[in-house]
Amino acid sequence: MWATTWEDEANSEIASRLGLPQLPVVRWPEPSSAQERGNQWFGLHWKTRTLVEWADRRPFVWVDDEITDGDREWVRSRHPGRALLHRVEANRGLAEEDFAVIGEWLRSF
């Protein structure tokens, strides 16, 4: 599943370069004013609530360069399934060590 602001362009621009099939895409709703205020209060990324809702108790991995401790706490307290929130450096992107962390988490099931 693509959970990126690229939305459908992730399939046309990224998937083939990574050898991935066409994947479903998260559609980002417009947040309400109350949600925006709540996100600021809790220090949440604007994607966090939607990803937890989408996961619907299922395990998920979220890789992003903007994940915060607030996001991790929100997911821990509101998502009963397993979740890995893995932050990468924006100026570096995904590296071998990131894939190692994700692979280890996936093998831990």
pTM over 0.75, yes/no: yes
What's the pLDDT score for residue 39? 86
pLDDT one-digit tens code per residue, 46-99: 999 999 999 999 999 999 999 999 999 999 999 999 999 999 999 998 899 999
Is-contact 88 62, C-beta < 8 A? no
pLDDT band at 109 (very low <50, low <70, confident <90, very high): confident
pLDDT band at 103 (very low <50, low <70, confident <90, very high): very high
Give CA–CA dist 102/99, Å, rounded. 5
What's the pLDDT score for residue 15? 92
What's the pLDDT score for residue 25? 95
What average pLDDT does the structure give for the chain? 93
Neighbouring-strand partners of residue 63: 86
* Domain parsing of the chain, residue ranges: 1-30, 43-107
Is-contact 72 44, C-beta < 8 A? no
Query: Is pLDDT at 31 greater than 90 in this prediction?
Result: no
